[in-house]
Amino acid sequence: MTAGVDLSPKAQAIGSDEDVVRVRQLVRTVAVAVKLSLVDQTKLVTAASELARNTLVYGGGGTAEVTVVDDGRRRGVRIVFADAGPGIPDLTLALTDGYTTGGGLGLGLSGARRLVDEFDVDTAVGEGTRVTVTKWSR
C-alpha cells in the first residue's frame, strides 16, 4: 500500500449534472489508488456514471459514497448510491435491457450490473433506492 494515498471513505452529493461528472472523477481517483486494471477502472467509472445519472434523474438527487474494501486477499472499490426518491415498483422490469421510463436507452441499471462484480439494489416504493456496487482488483 502506498503511503500518502488517502483511502478513507468519500461522499459526493448528486444534485446536478456537474455532480455526475464529479462522481466519475472521484470513482476514478479511488479506482486508480487501489490499482484496478485500466479496463476495470473504465468499467467501474462507466457503471458509476450510469448509476449517478439514475440517482439524479429518477431518484431526484442523492449521494454517492465511495469506500475501499478489503476481503483479506484483494482490494476493491464499493460505491453506494442512495436517494429518497419514488423507489422502483418493479425491479425485474427495471433491470431488463432496453426498459426505460425516462426516455433513455434503458441500459443504465442493466448495463451497470454487467460492468461490476457485485450488484445489489434495495428499493422501497415511496421511500427511495439504494444501489451498491463493488469491483475487485484481480
Minimum CB separation of residue 28 from other proteins in Å reads 7
Which CB sits closer to other proteins, 104 or 125? 104
Which CB sits closer to other proteins, 74 or 114? 114
Minimum CB separation of residue 134 from other proteins in Å reads 16
Which amino acid appears at position 42 of this protein?
T
Q: Which strands, in side-by-side order, build the sheet including 128-136?
A: 10-14, 62-70, 75-83, 128-136, 118-124
Q: Which residues are at the interface with other proteins (CB under 8 A)?
A: 17-18, 20-21, 24-25, 28, 38-39, 41-43, 45-46, 49-50, 53, 97, 104-105, 107-108, 110-112, 114-115
Q: Which residue has the cell 467509472?
A: 45
Ranges of beta strands (E only) in the chain are: 10-14, 62-70, 75-83, 118-124, 128-136
Which CB sits closer to other proteins, 67 or 110? 110
Minimum CB separation of residue 118 from other proteins in Å reads 16
CB 110 within 8 A of CB 100: no
Which CB sits closer to other proteins, 25 or 127? 25
Please count the CA atoms within 13 angstroms of the CA of 102 that sit on its side-chain side. 17
Minimum CB separation of residue 39 from other proteins in Å reads 5
